[in-house]
Amino acid sequence: MKALKRALKALLITVLAYLVQVCVMKYLAFQGIMGSVVFAALAIIIVSCGKKYAFCASCLIGMMMESMLSNVPALYVIAYPVITMLCAQYFADMSDRQLERRRMMAESRKVRISEGRGKEHWWHRFMMRYRETDLPPIVRIPACAGLMDVLLNIVLAAYMYLIGEDIGWIHLVRLAASALYTMALSLVLMVPVRYVLGMYRRRRAQEGGELL
Amino acid sequence: MARNQDRQFSESENLNARDMGAQPPEAEERLPAWAQKIQTEAEEEAPASFDAPEEEKPEERPEAPRPSLEEEEETNAPIAEESSVFSSREEEADQAWAREAQRVEGGQFRRRTAAPDAGASPKNSKKAAKSRKNGKKKDGKNRKKKNASREEERRSFVKMMAIVVICGTLFIMVALMIVSNFVSSPLLALPRRLVNAVVTPVQSTFSTITDSVVTYLRTLKIRGNLEYEYEQLLIQLDDMANDTARMQELIHENAALRDILQEQEGNRDMNGLFAQVIGTEGGNYFSTLTLNVGSSDGVADYMAVVDNGGLVGVTYNTTERSCNVRCIINSDCTVAGLVQSSRDQGSVKGTLGTNGEPMCRMYYLPDNSLPRPGDVVVTSGVGLEFPKGIPIGYIRESTRGMEDNKSYVVLEPVVDFQHLEYVTVYRYRPSYAENAQARSSSSQSIALEPLVTARPIPSFEMEGLSDFMYSATAAPDAQEETPAPTSAPGITPAPTATPDPNATPVPDNLEYHVADRTGATATPSPRPTFTPTPSPEPTADAGAMTVEDDE
């Protein structure tokens, strides 16, 4: 029942994100650049709910976009699930087995460092292969949303280039601005959406020694 | 420290992976999911055989007293021996654990279960028997838990199947939508139509709501800025009113200048000069103007000053840079004029000093002259060296007034003396020759022709007043007999005057041309409407007529 409730919440968030994207974001365009609420919601679902939820949500959004706003045949319905799953591979929570493996690798690396056979750099803490745990969600969600937006914009820019348009600096600037806008949106939406999904109640219960 | 915080934060994120009801592993004792599952099953079947921490104990028996470690060992050992199923499962779990531990760097996983009771001594056999009895009592509860575990497994299976079905359905729909772009088939288009049918009303409703909200927010914003915009609009209104006034002034000035220019263009031969009124004396007795042109500009005394197609006055007191104008409404200004329709001449004089009205009176009209109201009086060119034909005013009344035994008619001046800004000074000075030619051109030729009779009668032809020509007309029958007159050889023709090459050619028409006005006057002064008295119509009464009888 809880899983069903959670799935319904994720579905509601997905549909709302789509509706906001197609109905509201035109009023919130900044210098003609619109952020992607859809990618922000997908990033939150990737980090909070996992890959299966993210796949379902991306398929739904892709189908809705393809049915209602189709410019290029089959572009959205392919691009959204593919981009979402690509980013989910990197930004979703690691499994317990993966976490344990990372922990042991980190311990062995510490041993090697103590024996003088390696060196730890500051950037290692931001790279997944050197980390024992996942990055905090406040980092992963905007990064995931921005990366997804950049990937989709790259696909669209490639399409524009293939149909004969010249790709210049203005496209890159717009791409960067769109990604930044999407990251900001994901930061703003992260707290209420994760609250609806029950993430903060779960953490509180866990810290209190009791699960809901 | 930061790493520990990150780790704890990340653990909170891993809740979904561990699913509901799963116990969070400690940071140092993290177990893989398969190990947790096995451990959970083992704990459910033989909870006393594990050295589980206190917080991981089941909630169903929190009130049960915690046995000591020795008692647990004594209790667990016989149970492990009796329950073959449990021991076999635990052995399997241990073996799997050992394999996994060997695989992952020499077994760094730490099993939390207690070691088998290898060290149980026969001393404790009594305690073991006692605990065996207790184990039998708890056996029922364990079976219930086992059933619950199976139910949980079934739920997990159902959940997994649901996920598979949902993901599979979505995947198939996505695939169908992709294929439908390339293959046209109603079946393949079914997902697209389904999504369309579902999403369209929702999106339409949402869009309507969004538009309403946006409109309302915009209205609020407009209301919020209303006062500011009102002030801004007031400022704009003031600026535009100033601009409009300035523009109106420019339009008026432009029209006045255009009128003057047009008037000067139409009377180019009269050598007009544009002048600006820089001073006005508008008293009760005198009306004089001061212009910004003087003798340096060619202006002299007694030159005509015209505005708006009408005579303003006469220049006097001319200095190098300025001159004064005596307006025609002054009592001491007299100008020769003539009624344009009847060509009756008279003298026009102002009445400002007489009765305070800015009017004129025309004296010395012939007694038999009866000008009609509305007739135009123009300058006659007699006396002052004025151009002929400049409008002075309109006849206001046809009745004649009497003043000092002199009859007059009242004129209303053409010029609005209250709104004079720019005028034209005509520096026209006709020469005597021009006057003579003008007079000769304006005189009528008189031709006397005899009646046709049987005998020839000499005829006389008179050209003008000075030229008199005599010619005899022969009778038709005697025309051949009469020789043609020959000129006398001794008579020398009179020499004609050689024209001065530097003199300005005299125009054919020296009269003043009234130019079309563009209506530059700001406020047109009202003019009285003169309606002529209708002449009585002949009465045609059939009853009053008499018929003569022939008989």
Residue of A nearest to B218 (CA): A27
Helix/strand/coil percentages in chain A, nearest 5: 75, 0, 25
CB atoms within 10 A of CB B10: 20
CB-hemisphere CA count at 13 Å for B11? Answer: 22
Residue of B nearest to A60 (CA): B170
Would you call B195 and A64 a contact, using CB atoms and an 8 Å cutoff? yes
| Long-range Cβ contact pairs of A104-107 (< 8 A, separation 24 or more) | A104/B104, A104/B105, A104/B108, A106/A130, A106/A131, A106/A132, A107/B108
Q: Which pLDDT tens digit goes with each residue over A173-190?
A: 999 999 999 999 999 999
Residue B392 CB burial class (10 angstroms; 0-12, 13-18, ≥19): buried
Min CA distance, B183 vs chain A (Å)? 12
Nearest to B388 by CA among B333, B300, B311, B276: B311
CATH architecture of residue range(s) A2-93+139-207:
Orthogonal Bundle (1.10)
Q: Which pLDDT tens digit goes with each residue over B498-532?
A: 544 454 444 444 667 766 655 555 444 455 555 55
CATH class of domain segment(s) B271-430: mainly beta
Nearest to A146 by CA among A185, A174, A182: A182
- Of residues A23, A67, A199, nearest to B206 (C-beta): A23
Does this model's pTM top 0.90? My answer is no
Q: 3-state DSSP call for residue B427? A: coil
Would you call B13 and A95 a contact, using CB atoms and an 8 Å cutoff? no
Most confident of A38-42, A117-121, B328-332: A38-42
How high is the pLDDT of residue B547?
Answer: 58
Interface mutation vs chain B, best among A25, A58, A63, A207, most B CBs within 10 Å? A63
Stretch(es) of chain A classified as CATH 1.10.1760: 2-93+139-207
CA angle B133, B139, B142 (to 5 degrees): 145
Nearest to A132 by CA among A105, A155, A158, A162: A105
Query: Rounded to whole angstroms, what are the CA distances from A148 to A32, A89, A186, B298, B529?
Result: 20, 12, 12, 89, 88
Tokens standing for A199?
């993430």
How high is the pLDDT of residue B65?
Answer: 46
Q: What span, in angstroms and rounded, lies between the C-alpha atoms of A195 and A192?
A: 5
Q: What span, in angstroms and rounded, lies between the C-alpha atoms of B45 and B485?
A: 172
Higher pLDDT, A203 or B447: A203
Interface A–B counts its CB contacts (< 8 A) at 137
Which chain B positions have a beta carbon within 8 Å of A211's beta carbon? 20-21, 23-24
Residue A31 Rama label (left phi>0; alpha psi -120 to 50; beta): left
Number of DSSP helices (H) and strands (E) in chain B, helices first: 10, 16
Q: Which pLDDT tens digit goes with each residue over A74-103?
A: 888 899 999 999 999 889 888 888 888 888
- Of residues B6, B32, B181, nearest to A136 (C-beta): B6
Task: Beginning with the edge strand found earlier in the chain, give each strand of the sheet holding B467-471 in spatial order.
Answer: B446-447, B459-463, B467-471
CB-hemisphere CA count at 13 Å for A53? Answer: 27
How high is the pLDDT of residue A61?
Answer: 92
Q: Which pLDDT tens digit goes with each residue over B368-399?
A: 888 888 899 999 888 777 788 899 999 987 77
Q: Which of residues 144-173 of A touch B (CB under 8 A)?
A: none
Query: Mean pLDDT, chain B, as a whole number?
Result: 69
Q: What span, in angstroms and rounded, lies between the C-alpha atoms of B536 and B551?
A: 36
Q: Which of residues 56-115 of A touch B (CB under 8 A)?
A: 56, 59-60, 62-64, 66-68, 73-74, 77-78, 81, 93-97, 99-101, 103-104, 107-108
Would you call B196 and A68 a contact, using CB atoms and an 8 Å cutoff? yes
Q: Which pLDDT tens digit goes with each residue over B295-328?
A: 999 999 889 999 878 999 999 888 888 898 989 9
At A207, the pLDDT band (50, 70, 90 cuts) reads: low
Alpha-carbon B56 to chain mean position? 78
Residue of B nearest to A62 (CA): B174
Stretch(es) of chain B classified as CATH 2.40.10.340: 271-430
Look-up of token digits 């635990």: B90
